[in-house]
Amino acid sequence: MQPIDFQELACRECAQACDLGFDFSMAFQPIVDVSTKTVFAKEALVRGTNGEGAGEVFKHVTEDNRYRFDQSCRVKAIKLAAELGITSYLCINFLPNAVYKPELCIRTTLAAAKNYDFDPRKIIFEFTENERIIDHDHLINIVNHYQQLGFTTAIDDFGSGYNGLGLLSDVKVDISKIDMQLVRDIDQDTTKQKIVQHTVNLLNDLGQRIIAEGIETEAEYRTLRAMGITLFQGFLFAKPSFEAVPDIYWPED
C-alpha cells in the first residue's frame, strides 16, 4: 500500500479551505505609482462572500483554523487575481503566527501559482505590525526564506502596532507601508509631517521602497508627494472592489 503523505494531504485541504466552517472571498485595491501613472500592485483584502468587511470574516478565525485560513487566503487571492487578469504585483497579507515551518507552508502558495498560471515572482507577502509577533527569530526565518524563493516582502501598517523601529534592524523587508494613522490629515499636522519625513529618509537609507497607505484627500497626497513618495494606496485613488479590479483616479500633477 502506498504510504500516506500527510503533508501533501494538508496542502490539499488548505487549498480547498477544508474544515474552516465558513467561506470568504477577496476585494482588490490598487497601489499606484504616480511617477509613471501605472499600477504597481493590487492588494487582496479579505471579504465575506457577500462583500462583508474583513472584521466579519475574522470573527470566525480561531487558533484551531488560523493555519488553514492563512493558506486559503493565499489560494483565493492567487486564483481570483489570475481570473481577473492581474499582471501587476499581488499583495497578500499573511499571519506570521500561522506559519509553523516556512519551507513547508509555502508549498500551497507555489502550487496555486502554478495551477492558476500566476507568476510567483509577482507576489508580495505583507505582514502587519498589528499582529503581535511571539517569536521574532521565526519571523526573520519566514521573511528570509520567502526572499530566497524570489518573493517580495513588506511590513504593513508601519508606524503602528507592537514592534516599532526595532523591527527594522531585525527583519530585512523590501517594502514598508506607512500606516494611515500617520498620514491622516498630515497636511494640517506639522508633527506628523516631521515624523513621516524622517521615516521616509530612514527607509530610503535602508534601501526600502515606501508605500503611503490610507490616502483619502488631495491635500494628504500632495504633502506626501512633496516628501518624495511615489507609491500610494487609498480611497483617493480607488476603493477596494469586490472580486473585481476598480477604476483609478489620477490626481493632477
Instruction: CATH number of the domain at 57, please.
Output: 3.20.20.450
The pLDDT assigned to 154 comes to: 94
Model confidence pLDDT, tens digit, residues 83-101: 999 999 999 998 776 776 7
Domain that holds residue 87: 6-242
Looking only at the bridges linking them, the beta strands covering 25-33 and 38-47 are: antiparallel
By the 8 A CB rule, do 172 and 143 touch? yes
Domain total of the chain? 1
Phi-psi group of 154: left, alpha or beta (phi > 0 → left; psi -120 to 50 → alpha; rest → beta): beta
Q: Is residue 167 part of a domain?
A: yes
Separation between Cα atoms, residue 21 and residue 66, nearest integer Å = 12
pLDDT at position 10 is 47
| Within a domain: 252 | no
Question: Residue range 27-46: average pLDDT?
Answer: 97
Distance (Å, rounded) from C-alpha 76 to C-alpha 78?
Answer: 6
In a domain, 90, yes or no: yes
Q: Does the residue 249 lie in any domain?
A: no
Residue 247 is assigned to a structural domain of this protein: no
**Is 250 inside any structural domain?**
no
Question: What tens digit of pLDDT does each residue of 134-158 get?
Answer: 667 888 888 888 999 999 999 888 8
Measure the CA–CA gap between 122 and 41, rounded to whole angstroms. Answer: 9
Confidence at 161, pLDDT banded by 50, 70, 90: low
As a whole number of angstroms, the distance between CA 70 and CA 17 comes to 10
Q: Check residue 106 and give its pLDDT.
A: 87
In this structure, is residue 108 part of a structural domain?
Answer: yes
Give the rounded percent of residues in the chain with a pLDDT score beyond 70: 87
Give me the phi and psi of 136, to 5 degrees please: -65, -35
Q: What is the pLDDT of residues 178-234, one digit of tens each?
A: 999 999 999 999 999 999 999 999 999 999 999 999 999 999 999 999 999 999 999
**Cell numbers found for residue 138:** 521565526
* Per-chain mean pLDDT for the chain: 87
DSSP annotation of 2: P
Number of H helices, E strands in the chain: 10, 9
